[in-house]
Amino acid sequence: MSLFQWTEKNASVLQQGGVIAPDERLPWPQTAVMGVQHVIAMFGATVLAPILMGFDPNIAILMSGIGTLIFFFITGGKVPSYLGSSFAFIGVVIAATAYAGKGANANIGVALGGIIACGVVYTIIGVIVQAIGTGWIERFMPPVVTGAVVAVIGLNLAGIPVKNMAASNFDSWMQLVTFVSVGLVAVLTRGMVQRLLILVGLIVASILYAILTNGFGLGKPMDLSGIMNAAWFGLPNFAAPVFEANAMLLIAPVAIILVAENLGHIKAVTAMTGKNLDQYMGKAFIGDGVATMVSGSAGGTGVTTYAENIGVMAATKIYSTAIFVVAAVIAVLLGFSPKFGAVIQAIPLPVMGGVSIVVFGLIAIAGAKIWVDNKVDFSENKNLIVAAITLVLGTGDFTLKFGQFALGGIGTATFGAILLYALLNRKR
């Protein structure tokens, strides 16, 4: 397959229980709509991460699109993936910049220097993998480990919608209405509507929210004034990196977490598609690393292969890389459109929370699917202990501090799974 040549498949393939493989695509109109769904799936987290670090969300959207295109070109269009803001950077960026939590980050340049350093380390790991293969990674991260890490990514994020996206009892009920709406679309509809379950469910829930709040005054009304006042086009606030040794040493080790996330992503997609993508792992690491460096050089966050989009692929059975090209181009255009940012931000928070519950749950199930597909034997105590401890470390957000460096739940679960498996797998 050339870089921009996909085999066109009719949607009837999906109705017959088939899938759309990475080198295939639906007709372009349907592919474009699916691209929009992937943009929406990544949007909440990609915007939330920079806000928590004091970065410009519009730059994050712009660089997520550019980073995804970089990833597509470096992997030769073989690996379906969207690159969005990585939550793994939040703790170390806040520590490195002493960010107070509100407004713009005054020390953003220092953080950007560290993000670029992380991208360099990540790229070097990719070059090594490309040169000598993935065998050494496979030994440290067998299916029991990668399945646990993928599951933990979804479970660790579960607290965001449950705890932070429902300020009232009404909001909690709206989250329930949202994920039930998505579920009904997934089960009761057919064809393309069923494949757009997340987008359609979000629209239905938003309409219901508007009726209940703006119409009956049951909750906080939807505010559309921001959409009316926002400009159609505008430049985001670019920023330049500052290379400071302490910040670079603090942020660069995040590369190991990104490796685990990317590895888990590739394993999950391999399990879902039945196509072994291990041969592209080195290029995937390089693509993600280069994208992180480019993002950091412009004022964006570090990026990673996005778990949210794994959830969408798991639900739709559409793995075409063409969808991610479309999504990336849309994101680049939207990065220069404050009005679109206002539209997305007008989506009620509890509705976005309900969608997040669905997507994060699908991520967790993708991890379990790795175990099932690889026939992981949980009658073996080493597998049982590794999986059990990893899930609790990640879900409980177990944190270890090394001086100023804090390793949060996903990090401790990742390293814990790798080290614990290596320890328990030693020959007697």
Q: Which residues neighbour 59 within 8 Å (Cβ) at sequence distance 6 or greater? A: 50, 236, 237, 238, 239, 298, 299, 300, 335
Provide the CB-side half-sphere exposure for 106 (13 A, CA): 5
Query: Taking residues 236-247, what's their average pLDDT?
Result: 87
The CA distance from 357 to 57, in Å, is: 22
pLDDT the model gives residue 389: 94
Give the pLDDT confidence of 26-49 residue by residue, as tens digits: 888 888 988 988 888 787 678 777
Q: Name the percent of the chain lying above pLDDT 70.
A: 93
Q: Which residues neighbour 189 within 8 Å (Cβ) at sequence distance 6 or greater? A: 197, 200
- Between 392 and 352, the more confident residue is 392
What single string gives the DSSP state of each residue in 240-296? -----HHHHHHHTTHHHHHHHHHHHHHHHHHHHHS---GGGHHHHHHHHHHHHHHHH
The CA distance from 192 to 316, in Å, is: 9
Cα distances (Å, whole numbers) of residue 379 to 129, 300, 368, 387, 404: 32, 45, 16, 12, 40
pLDDT at 428 over 60: no
pTM of the model: 0.71
pLDDT at 114 over 60: yes
pLDDT the model gives residue 151: 84
The CA distance from 32 to 325, in Å, is: 9
Q: Which residues neighbour 310 within 8 Å (Cβ) at sequence distance 6 or greater? A: 150, 265, 268, 269, 362, 363, 366
Mean of pLDDT over the chain: 84
Give the pLDDT confidence of 163-218 residue by residue, as tens digits: 777 788 888 999 999 999 989 988 888 766 776 777 788 889 999 999 998 888 88
pLDDT the model gives residue 294: 97
pLDDT the model gives residue 404: 62
Please work out, in degrees rounded to the nearest 5, the angle formed at the alpha carbon of residue 53 by the alpha carbons of 52 and 59.
100
The CA distance from 52 to 87, in Å, is: 9
